[in-house]
Structure 1
Amino acid sequence: MDFKKYLRILVKNDGSDLYLTFNAPPSAKFNGELKALSRERMTSEQLHEIAEFLMNKEQLDQFEHKPEMNLALDEPDIGRFRINIFKQRTNLAMVIRNIKVEIPNADDLGLPQVLKEQIMKKRGLILFVGGTGSGKSTSLAALIDHRNSNSAGHIVTIEDPIEYVHPHKKSLVSQREVGVDTDTYEDALENTLRQAPDVILIGEIRTEETMEHALAFAETGHLCLSTLHANNANQALDRIINFFPEERHSQLLMDIGLNIQAFISQRLIPTVDGKRVAAIEILIGTQTIRDLIMKGDVSAIKEIMEKSEELGMQTFDSHIYKLHKQGIISLEEALKNADSPSNLQVKLNLEDSTYSNMTSDEDTTEEEQAAIDLAFGDLALEEMDDGKPKIDEENKILKTPQELMEEKIARRLQEDARNAEELKKMEEILQKNM
């Protein structure tokens, strides 16, 4: 069976994964949606033929005793792929991940400026967090390329398998693939410091031992990067803590607090035009965040993130809110992907209600209306010669929009309170007369 034609379809249409399993048609994911590539169902013989093509004799023998195999495929004129071969209901199956050969640009991915600043740090721990297929490896590759393009040094990566091939630019890049360039993660990690690195990428943190190495690299003055499967920064911290026995939790929190540079969480959300966009949560290791982690007060972190946008931090819900207000994602997708759908819905309802009430008030002054329009994005704008927008000169704002909005809301709340008090008095009078 010529399964390469399905690889070509996957690459040509920018698909993410190809699924080959017994008694089902070959299928692939495009923009997160699974689609069949053929009407014919795959047979056991076809799957064994593909497996024998992909695995060498040693791997085939190993698969007979341990039916799990991870490997990489570099197919000329088609692309690079990461493959997981396994058994299900005694039959062979495999998932083939499309590894993009061209390293994406951080700006093209829409990554915030603060992440480009973080990747240039000299030391510390940066973790990318997200589920499978969340795009965290792609974002991390783009940031490594940014560092490679702008700073001289030695970048060492330990991956299983290598996902993006980084050329030498301003930095030297040594990429080691587990099972090819080194026998195990542990062997590679134990020898990494002997290779005089400036930046160390560990493909994924899965165990207590790997996390210990990551912290040790950060503590010895290196920038350590890795990925972790978790939904957000809080869950990532909980998962790391649970790698270790309880008696070590206190010291572990101290080590993380001292070494954290950033935790970046990511998830891909379908857009209104049928593509996908990354919603990103950013936790920066400020002194306040470090103190909370060292105290073990993980639950208080999100509130600090919400109040620290000027420092580059943002929660998932704040970014999802912005993506929806910009018309990039639908309300349905916004609520589906929010950490707290109810809070996001309340925020959207409150904004709509506040804008409706404020704009319908007859006693709104011109300067208040200008502030309201500015706050809600409806203030008239005109293009300057340099292409940058400026406020219509007819709208003279004597106070900041925030001050005017607060005054307006305060007056409305006072009016609502008076109305409620008058209604209560009328009800009391009616009760007495009944």
Structure 2
Amino acid sequence: MRPETHWLLHFCHDNQLLTDSQVQGIASNFDASTDAQTCARMLLNAGWVTDKDFLDSAVDAAIKNAREGFDLPELPGISSGGSENPFNFPDFNDFKELEGSALEREVKALFLRCQQIGASDLHITAGARPSIRHHRRLVYLSNAPLPDSLARKINLCLLNEAQRTKFETDMDLDYALAIGESTEGYRTRCRANLMEQKKGIAGTYRIVADHLMSLEELGFPNADDIRKLLNYNNGIILVTGPLGCGKTTTLATLVHELNQNRREHIITIEDPIEVRQNSENSIVTQRQVGEHTTSFNSALMSALREDPDIIVVGEMRDLETIEIAVTAAETGHLVIATMDTRDANSTLNRMLDVFPPSQQNQIRSMTAGSLRGVICQRLLPSTDDSVVLACELLVNNSAVAAIIRDGKETGLNNAMQSGKKFGMRTMNDSIQALLEAGRITEEVAQANLRSSESKKS
């Protein structure tokens, strides 16, 4: 049973709205994945609980308690230990007895299991319960917090000597973890971060999908419009969105599309390399910051001397990197980069406002001429208990270029609304389409719609 559903049943039982036998009957007949909202609807429809206002508030409290990781209360006839473990992860106490190659094998199997079920992150932290992020929800894999000795044992067992030394010196470590072929045919890669915190070691692992997906598989309904941006020989394409929205996956897919369909030299600068790209029709050179180069901007400067056709920048966040990228885009290279921004408007503001006032006119003119498009994406909770992609697409045309040049980014939304024939799509359009298709709830839509646009396009 999900923790949030456990909490909901506790609230109903504690307020004498459900009897002991009713709680036991519900628990024995519910699917283990039933969430609190579904449980509340079932209770209401069955007439067992008739106070809808109470149920609404209880659902909110149940979700909050589950998210905060509070220990589950006792329910009649039901263990609060959460031993059901619907994802079939191992008992973490078993790791205490393992050493050497046996320990490494079981830890690798742990990462493989995360990949198989579609978990995006794995957390192994001292003083906290081990957990995964599955469809953006935190799911606990055990009811007992890990002692530092066990968390440290699991997190450090796959490090080489140089990585161990760096972690001991810096108390922080970012690295890419690659695990070879398994009997199931998967190849597991993770973007890993280790750090020291007040209760001991903490390890966070971003799990990379086992195969490169197409734009359609990622959920882009406007995949062909995005592909048109890849036909340019120069200019800059930005892939943006908040942290954890899948930008790196989209970037890898765009590189794969270029690799399949063009005969070019593609240089990628990443931190770290998450998805390995084999050279096919193109030559793909991947460089990792910290291992193959000291920084994004130094790698960009070097790339300009390495006969590139396409330069891919894993993240643009400082003035020098942005300046070099825009210059490269203006001087005959196709540049694709990511930024942590929520929409096209904030992307351009972030990109342009890092420059001092004395450079504003020049950089605006350069960006107006070199920008090809901005792809903004978000992952929203879906009605089938997973996530769904919402996306915005800004395509540069004469109207957009004039807005950028004149510093009037507030007019971008109107330009996008009137530019749908060019393939443009606002985030509100995307969210409204998902709502009308039944992919997201009204509550999710309202939480993500921008008030500056009307709900109906």
The match for 1:159 is: 270
- Code of the residue aligned with 2:284 in structure 1: it is V
Please point out which of 330, 344, 348 is paired with 1:237: 348
> Is 1:247 paired with 2:351?
no
| In 2: Cα distance, 1:87 partner to 1:342 partner | 44
The match for 1:209 is: 320
> Is 1:89 paired with 2:193?
no
Please point out which of 108, 115, 118 is paired with 1:11: 115
| In 2: Cα distance, 1:341 partner to 1:134 partner | 23
The match for 2:213 is: 104
SS of 2:316 mapped into structure 1: coil
Please point out which of 120, 128, 131 is paired with 1:24: 128
The match for 2:418 is: 307
| In 2: Cα distance, 1:223 partner to 1:273 partner | 38
Task: Choose 61-70 or 39-48, whichever is displaced more.
Answer: 61-70
- Code of the residue aligned with 1:144 in structure 2: it is V
> Is 1:124 paired with 2:235?
yes
SS of 1:282 mapped into structure 2: strand
SS of 1:321 mapped into structure 2: helix
The match for 1:224 is: 335
> Is 1:267 paired with 2:378?
yes
SS of 1:237 mapped into structure 2: helix
| In 2: Cα distance, 1:48 partner to 1:24 partner | 13
SS of 1:194 mapped into structure 2: coil
Task: Choose 233-242 or 44-53, whichever is displaced more.
Answer: 44-53
| In 1: Cα distance, 2:132 partner to 2:358 partner | 46
- Code of the residue aligned with 1:247 in structure 2: it is S
| In 2: Cα distance, 1:194 partner to 1:221 partner | 13
> Does the 8 Å CA contact 2:239/2:247 hold for their aligned counterparts?
yes
> Is 1:325 paired with 2:436?
yes
Alignment of 1:348-363 (within 5 A): none
The match for 1:297 is: 408
> Is 1:49 paired with 2:153?
yes
Deviations 1:151-178 (A, max 9, x none): 1111110111112111222111111112
SS of 1:139 mapped into structure 2: helix
| In 2: Cα distance, 1:269 partner to 1:185 partner | 30
Task: Choose 75-84 or 118-127, whichever is displaced more.
Answer: 75-84
Aligned-pair CA distance for 1:90: 5.7
SS of 2:216 mapped into structure 1: coil
- Code of the residue aligned with 1:9 in structure 2: it is R
SS of 1:339 mapped into structure 2: coil
- Code of the residue aligned with 1:290 in structure 2: it is A
> Is 1:169 paired with 2:273?
no
Aligned-pair CA distance for 1:249: 2.1
SS of 1:167 mapped into structure 2: coil
SS of 1:117 mapped into structure 2: helix
The match for 1:279 is: 390
The match for 2:163 is: 59
Aligned-pair CA distance for 1:237: 1.4
> Is 1:74 paired with 2:74?
no
Relative distance call for 1:341 and 1:330 in structure 2 (3 A) is farther
> Does the 8 Å CA contact 1:324/1:334 hold for their aligned counterparts?
yes
Show structure 2 runs of 5+ residues with no match: 1-94, 96-102
| In 1: Cα distance, 2:167 partner to 2:354 partner | 28
Task: Choose 44-53 or 20-29, whichever is displaced more.
Answer: 44-53
Aligned-pair CA distance for 1:54: 4.0
| In 1: Cα distance, 2:149 partner to 2:432 partner | 50
Relative distance call for 1:81 and 1:305 in structure 2 (3 A) is same
- Code of the residue aligned with 1:250 in structure 2: it is N
SS of 1:195 mapped into structure 2: coil
| In 2: Cα distance, 1:12 partner to 1:107 partner | 21
> Is 1:343 paired with 2:454?
yes
- Taking only aligned residues, the RMSD between alpha carbons, in angstroms, comes to 1.9
> Does the 8 Å CA contact 2:124/2:155 hold for their aligned counterparts?
no
- Code of the residue aligned with 1:142 in structure 2: it is T
> Does the 8 Å CA contact 1:136/1:227 hold for their aligned counterparts?
yes
- Code of the residue aligned with 2:423 in structure 1: it is G
The match for 2:294 is: 183
Aligned-pair CA distance for 1:203: 0.5
Task: Answer with 1 or 2: which has the greater Rg.
Answer: 1
TM-score, reference length from structure 1: 0.76
Task: Choose 47-56 or 120-129, whichever is displaced more.
Answer: 47-56
> Does the 8 Å CA contact 1:84/1:96 hold for their aligned counterparts?
yes
SS of 1:25 mapped into structure 2: coil
